[in-house]
A and B are shown apart, each in its own frame.
Chain A
Amino acid sequence: MKVYRVDVQSRLLLGTAGYPSPAILSQAVQASRTDVVTVSLRRESSGDRAGQGFWSLVRDLKVRVLPNTAGCHSVKEAVTTAHMAREVFGTSWIKLEVIGEDDTLQPDVFGLVEAARILSAEGFQVFPYTTEDLIVAERLLEAGCEVLMPWGAPIGSGRGLNNLFGLKALRARFADVPLIVDAGIGVPSHAAQALEIGFDAVLINTAVARAVDPVQMAGAFALAVEAGRAAYLAGPVEPRDLAVPSTPLIGRAFLE
C-alpha cells in the first residue's frame, strides 16, 4: 500500500494506547507485523517525565509513527496540536481528529475539512478520521488529503463495520484513494471483512490493547488482514438468495 508516496508493507496500523504494560505493547507491535503505529501528545510532568520513556520505547520499535490529534474538539486545537506533533515526532503525517460529539466520538466533519485544508496547505500529510459520507470525502480530497480514514463504528465500541453499504459506496466512489477503516473494529473477522470489500488497511487499538492476551490478538489481526486482502484479490462470489448446488447434478445416479 502506498500512502503519500510511502510504501507501507502491513495493512494493519496499530494504536499504542491502553496496553497492560509497555513490554506488552512492544510485543504486540511485533506480533502485529505493523510498520505504522499511532501516537499522541499529552501534558508532560517534569517529575516523572512519562512521555520520554514512552518515546524511547516507540523509537526502539523501528516503525513509522502517525501522531493523532485525539481529544481535539475545535479546528484551532487540532491545528495547534498538529504543529506540536510535527515538531516532537519529526513527521508531517498527522491523523486528524476533530471530535464533534462526546458519546459517539463522531467527527465534526465541518471542522475536519477546515482543519485538513489548513494543514495540507502547510505541508502536512493529513490522515483524516471521518465518516463514510461521500461528500465529506470529496471535500477532504479537495482539501489536499490523499488518504481517507472512515470509521467502522464509534471508537472503542468494537461493533465492526456499522454501515457496510456506506463503506462499499465509498470504496466504489474513490477507487484510487487509499482507504483505511479507523475505529470500531472489535475482532479479526471485522478487519478481514474491511479488507475483503476492498479497503486498503485497518487501524486497530482497543481490540488488541484490551484483549485478554493483546500479543496473541495482535497476531490474529495480522492473519486477518492478510486473509482479507487475499480474498479481495481473489474476487469473492456475490451473495444470492437461493441455493445453488455446488456438486454437479449431471451424471447423478438414479436410485429411487
Chain B
Amino acid sequence: MKVQVNGVWREVTSCDVASLLKELNYGDSVVATAVNGVFVATGSRSGAPVSDGDRLEVLAPMQGG
C-alpha cells in the first residue's frame, strides 16, 4: 500500500505505526508520530492502524526560537 511519510509517498507493507517505523528504519530514534494529523503516543503505536492513503508524520527535536 502507499502511505505518505513526511510528505513523500512510500510503498510500504506494515499495517501499524510501530512496525511501519521499523520498516522505515527509524530504529530507536526519539520521534513523535501522528497519523492523518492525529497524535499517536509511543505506547499506542502498536495498536495504531495505518491504511492505504494515510499520512504519517514523524517528528524529532530540531532547533527552534
Residues of A within 8 A of B (CB): 15-19, 25, 38-46, 49-52, 54-55, 58, 67-68, 70, 76-77, 80, 83-85, 87-89, 155-156, 203, 205-206
Q: How far is the CA of A55 from the CA of B64 in the complex (A)?
A: 12
A56 to chain B, nearest CB (A): 9
A132–B48 alpha-carbon span in the complex (Å): 42
> In whole Å, how far is B63's beta carbon from the nearest beta carbon of chain A?
4
Assess the B34–A80 pair: CB atoms within 8 A. Answer: yes
Contacts of A52 in B (CB 8 A): 29-30, 60-61
CB neighbours (8 Å) of A70 from chain B are 64-65
Q: State whether A40 and B26 are in contact (beta carbons under 8 Å apart), knowing that A80-B37, A80-B39, A84-B39 are contacts in the complex.
A: no
Residues on B with C-beta less than 8 A from A45 are 6
Question: With A39-B61, A51-B59 given, can you name 19 additional A-B contacts, CB distance below 8 Å?
Answer: A17-B64, A39-B63, A39-B64, A40-B64, A41-B32, A41-B62, A42-B59, A43-B58, A43-B59, A49-B29, A49-B60, A51-B60, A51-B61, A52-B29, A52-B30, A54-B61, A68-B65, A87-B32, A155-B65
What residues of chain A lie closer than 8 Å to B65, measured between beta carbons? 15-18, 38, 40, 68, 70, 155-156, 203, 205-206
Instruction: Tell me if B42 counts as interface (CB < 8 A to partner A).
Output: yes
On whether A54 and B29 interact (CB within 8 A), knowing A46-B24, A83-B39, A84-B34, the answer reads: no
B5 to chain A minimum Cβ distance, whole angstroms, is 9
- Asked if B24 and A51 sit within 8 Å, CB to CB, the answer is no
A87 to B27, CA, bound (A): 17
Q: State in angstroms the CA–CA spacing of A49 and B31 once bound together.
A: 10
